[in-house]
Amino acid sequence: MTTLATGGRWKLRRPPDAVVLPIVVLLLLTAVAASIAVGSRALTFDELFAALTAPTGTETDLIVRDVRLPRTFIGIAAGSALAVAGVIMQTLTRNPLAEPGLLGVNAGASFAVAIAIVVLRVGDFGATMWFAFLGAALASALVAVIGGVGRGASIGRLTLTGVAIGAVLSAATAALSLIDPHAYQSLRLWGAGALGGRSFDAAVLTLLVVAVGLVLVVLIAPGLGLLALGEDTARALGGQVGAARLGGFLAIVVLCGAATAAAGPIAFVGLLVPHALRAVFGPDTRRLLIYSALAGPILLLGADVLCGVLIAPRSIPVGVMTAFLGAPVLVALVLSRRVQAEGAPS
Amino acid sequence: MRPSPRLRAALAAAVIAPLVLAATACAPDADSTSDGGAAGADTIIVDSVYGEVTVPAAPERVAAISYDTPWQVMSLDLPVVAAIDYTQWIDGYTEDQQAYIADAAKVGSYGEVNFEALAGAAPDVIVGDAYEVDEATFTRLSEIAPTVIVGGDERGDWQSITEDLATALGAHDTWEEAKASYEARRDEVKEQYADVIAANTWANFSLGNEAGQFSIQLPSGSTGNLIVNEMGLAYGDGIPLDTDDGAGYVSLPLEQIGTVLDGVTVGLTYENPDGTKMPAIQDVIDSSLFQQLEIAKTERVYGLVSNVTDYRTAEEWIDELTAKVLEPLSQ
């Protein structure tokens, strides 16, 4: 990002896509490569190459194909989904603090997983993924029905409903986990937020579901762009506000449901990435969506790589690392915006 | 289902902080026994983690408020009048254990003592583990009854912990008997199955701290202590022998499993009384990386139900090991 002095005031110059897009794509490819190459076991380039191109079932092949590739796929899918969903949520709710937890998505997913484990005794991760997805969708739908329709519907009401239902579901999940230590243990593993421990099939499935969600986002992007200007302005410009809101809501459910189901509740990606990109690109919703889809995985995969190397051979849950990385960056962004607001150069 | 030692270690880590307390713990000193003075003839003074405590010489109403403590008191042939609520794990306990705590007052949940309920049980002594009872809690407990908090040298030091409890509860003779019985059984099994023990390298693994990880019991853990120090089972070369976090286990990424368990010929893990394994443990076993290990190919992975907290349960663990592992391997 660069600035120009114009008449004693500093004005932001947005970097062109032709310059930024290749850089972001290169960063994403680097993050993907690092995610596959870096782990608690040091592998040579030849071992990595052989595992990816001509696996023969050796231990290194298994590490790459059964551990690192699924991690990387989950990281790409969850990173994109959470970041894009963050943009949509902040646009729809016009709330800068909106993130996947706001509409009860995480709480719904957690509660459904708790039900699956405690009541139905489902232990298989693939099955709990579907429960998490269903829970996220149902909780979001409940929030929409209570807070987003009928007389008096407003963004504020939607947000408050999301917070309230999320709190109730979180409490119910905590109660279930306390009732049954078996559930506590399983939920503890799921709730830490992690990219590892998922099968190749689950990772591919997550990628596919997120891809469907991103296609939906592409379809509603023009409407979201208008909504970002405010509902009245969007209507005045001929925008289909209702359709955009419904499409946005569906996209959130699909994206957050898939990400949360696959990786557990991961904080800050959906909050930090849109804010960081907004600082670079401004409020252009279309660009925010595109770059969020690319930058989300960069953050998540980068955090995951750091988790694996900082205290190797042990590791830190990626949900913890994103919070560690995200909070200071967010504070820095807030401070820099205050400086800008005070007229100082950025 | 009773939580595994791994789960309890994780719970303990979440609930209590100062592992360093273990380092400051010191055994109750039989020599410090007092037969009079301010304490009176029917009391003794014992050292505990948080200092000297005057307790009844022959307590009749013992409250055991840490997770393993009731079973450690049980091994001393003393009843307990209060313990935490074990309802949710009760199916994982033996009938004797269930009967032992059936009439005990429920005085809170794991890591969270219900002080009012505890006072209502009118104990004449309270005992607990320093890994679950911090000094502030000890102070509050001491207002209800004399409180002895034991710690041992490390999390899995059940030998010292039970000896300290025995001293504090005036049951040292019983402890000595349990210890002698255990040692006799240990030595008998070690001698009988010396060839099997020497011919194999061992590991005790379980679920990890997060998905995609597994854990290895260290010699500083309760079962690891039994395996390595007591039974003399040699861990594999890749297994870390200690860490500095005091948890008694280490959780590692799954891709380390080949490195850590390389050369291990017998794998031990935990299983439920019904023979099933916790899903997270089963996930580790089902992973392709585990399946390429020698112990998977030779089907030398054994689940043990017994949970080691004292000499008696350690003896039960050895009996189970003998029946399920050593005897079949000796054929």
Element (H, E) at B219: none
Going by the DSSP 8-state scheme, the letter that residue A104 receives in this structure is: T
Q: How far is CA A112 from the centre of its chain?
A: 19
Residue type for position B20: V
- Give the span between the Cα atoms of A5 and B135, in whole angstroms: 61
All residues of chain B having their beta carbon less than 8 Å from the beta carbon of residue A63 are: 255, 258, 289
Q: How far apart are CA B266 and CA B297, in angstroms?
A: 11
Q: Residue B45 and residue B29: Cα distance in Å, rounded?
A: 8
Would you call B210 and A192 a contact, using CB atoms and an 8 Å cutoff?
Answer: yes
Phi, psi of B310, deg, nearest 5: -165, -175
Report how far apart, in Å, the C-alpha atoms of B35 and of each of B29, B57, B167, B174 are: 14, 9, 15, 21
Could you read off the pLDDT of A213-242 as tens digits, one per residue?
Answer: 999 999 999 888 887 777 778 777 777 777
Which residues of chain A lie closer than 8 angstroms to B211, CB-CB? 125, 189-190, 192, 194, 196-198, 264
Q: How far apart are the CA of A127 and the nearest CA of chain B, in angstroms?
A: 12
Q: Which of A63, A184, A264 sits opposite B289 (nearest CB)?
A: A63
Choose the closest CB to A197 out of B251, B258, B283. B283
**Tokens found for residue B26:** 């010191």
Q: Measure the CA–CA gap between A154 and A45, rounded to whole angstroms.
A: 55
A115–chain B nearest CA distance, Å: 16
- If one counts every other C-beta atom within 10 angstroms of the C-beta of residue B229, the result is 14
Cβ contacts of A121 on chain B, cutoff 8 Å = none
| Nearest-by-CA chain B residue for A191 | B210
- Contact yes or no for B88 and A66 at CB 8 A: no
User: Per the CB < 8 Å rule, is B253 touching A123?
Assistant: no
The whole-angstrom distance between B276's CA and the closest CA on chain A is 12
Residues of A in contact with B261 (CB under 8 A): none
Q: What is the pLDDT of residues A82-133, one digit of tens each?
A: 999 999 988 887 777 777 777 788 889 888 988 887 788 776 666 777 888 8
Average pLDDT over residues A193-209: 89
Per CB-CB distance under 8 Å, the chain B contacts of A194 are 210-212
Contact between residue A24 and residue A293 where contact means Cβ atoms under 8 Å apart = no
A236–chain B nearest CA distance, Å: 50
CA distances from B70 to B10, B79, B127, B129, B312 (A): 20, 9, 9, 11, 13
Task: With CB atoms and an 8 Å threshold, state whether B250 touches A62.
Answer: no
Spatial CB neighbours of B22, under 8 Å, sequence gap ≥ 6: B130, B131, B151, B152, B153, B154, B155, B157, B246
For residue B282, which residues of chain A lie inside 8 Å, CB to CB? 123
Residues 6+ apart with CB under 8 A from B102: none
Nearest to A220 by CA among A259, A258, A255, A246: A246
Cβ-based contacts of B280 with chain A (< 8 Å):
185-186, 189
- Chain B closest-CA separation from residue A144 CA (Å): 32
Nearest to B290 by CA among B210, B206, B228, B224: B206
Which tokens is B134 given?
């911090």
pLDDT value of residue A209: 92
Rg (CA), chain B: 20
Longest dimension (CA), chain A: 68
Concatenated DSSP letters of B260-312: HHTT--EEEEE--TTS---HHHHHHHHSHHHHTSHHHHTT-EEEE----SSHH
Q: How far is B34 from chain A (nearest CA, A)?
A: 43
Q: Do A59 and B88 touch (CB under 8 A)?
A: no
Res. A62: pLDDT tops 90: yes
Can you give the pLDDT at residue A4?
A: 47
Quick one: CA torsion of B46, B52, B57, B61, rounded to 10 degrees? -110
Residue among A68, A178, A196 minimizing CB distance to B211? A196
- In 3D space, the residue among B218, B222, B246, B177 whose CA is nearest the CA of residue B317 turns out to be B222
**Angstrom distance (rounded) from CA B43 to CA A201:** 66
Cβ partners under 8 Å of residue A136, min gap 6: A105, A106, A108, A109, A112, A253, A256, A257, A260, A261
Strand B213-217, strand B80-83: pairing? unpaired
Query: Per the structure block, which two tokens stand in for B130?
Result: 């320093």
Q: Return mean pLDDT, chain A.
A: 83
Give chain A's contact residues with B (Cβ, < 8 Å).
39-41, 57, 59, 62-63, 66-68, 71, 123-125, 178-182, 184-186, 188-190, 192, 194-198, 264, 308, 313-315, 317
For residue A312, give the 3-state DSSP assignment. Answer: coil
What separation, in Å, do the N-terminal and C-terminal C-alpha atoms of chain A show?
9
Distance CA A330, CA B256 (A): 35
Residues pairing with B54 in the sheet:
B45
* ipTM value for the complex: 0.78
B250: chain A residues, CB-CB within 8 Å: 314
Q: Does B18 sit behind a cis peptide bond, omega within 30 degrees of 0 on the bond before it?
A: no
Highest mean pLDDT among A53-62, A308-317, B273-282: A53-62
Instruction: Determine the distance from the C-alpha atom of residue A52 to the mean position of all C-alpha atoms in its chain, rounded to a whole number.
Output: 27
CA-wise closest residue to B166 among B153, B175, B156, B157: B175
Under an 8 A CB cutoff, do A40 and B252 touch?
yes
Higher pLDDT, A52 or B40: A52
Residues of A within 8 A of B1 (CB-CB) are 181-182
Cβ neighbors of A272 (< 8 A, separation 6 or more) are A299, A322, A325, A326, A329, A330
Q: B118, B65 in Cβ contact below 8 A?
A: yes
Nearest residue on chain A to B288, alpha-carbon basis: A62
Is a pLDDT exceeding 70 seen at residue A64? yes
For residue B324, the model assigns a pLDDT of: 96
Residues of B in contact with A71 (CB under 8 A): 212
Burial class (CB in 10 A: 0-12, 13-18, 19+), A157: middle
Contact yes or no for B202/B329 (Cβ under 8 A): no
Beta carbon pairs, A and B, within 8 Å:
95
Q: Which chain B residue is nearest to residue A313, measuring alpha carbons? A: B252
The partner residue sitting opposite B288, judged by closest CB among A62, A179, A189, is A62
How many helices, marked H, and strands, marked E, lie in chain B?
A: 16, 14
Which pLDDT tens digits describe chain B residue by residue (331 residues)? 334 444 444 444 443 333 333 333 333 444 444 443 334 458 999 989 999 999 999 999 999 999 899 999 999 999 999 999 988 777 778 888 999 999 999 998 887 899 999 999 999 999 999 988 999 999 999 999 999 999 887 778 899 999 999 999 999 999 999 999 999 999 999 999 999 999 999 999 998 888 889 999 998 888 888 899 899 999 999 988 876 666 788 999 999 999 999 989 999 999 888 888 887 898 899 999 999 999 999 999 999 988 899 999 999 999 999 999 999 999 8
What single string gives the DSSP state of each residue in A139-177? Answer: HHHHHHHHHHSSTT--HHHHHHHHHHHHHHHHHHHHHHH
* Residue predicted with more confidence, A257 or A216: A216
Contact A296, A263 (CB under 8 A): no
Which residues, 6 or more positions from A9, have their beta carbon under 8 angstroms from its beta carbon? A343
Q: Which residues of B touch A (CB under 8 A)?
A: 1-3, 7, 10, 88-89, 109, 207, 209-213, 250-256, 258-259, 278-280, 282-283, 287-289, 292
B7: which chain A residues are within 8 Å (Cβ-Cβ)?
181, 184-185
Q: What is the dihedral of CA A298, A299, A305, A306, to 10 degrees?
A: 150
Number of alpha carbons in the 13 Å side-chain half-sphere of residue B207: 27
What chain A residue is nearest to B258 in terms of C-alpha separation?
A: A59
Name the residue facing A196 among B88, B212, B292 (closest C-beta). Answer: B212
Tokens of A245: 């809101």
In this structure, the dihedral spanned by the alpha carbons of residues A41, A303, B284 and A62, taken in order and rounded to 10 degrees, is -50
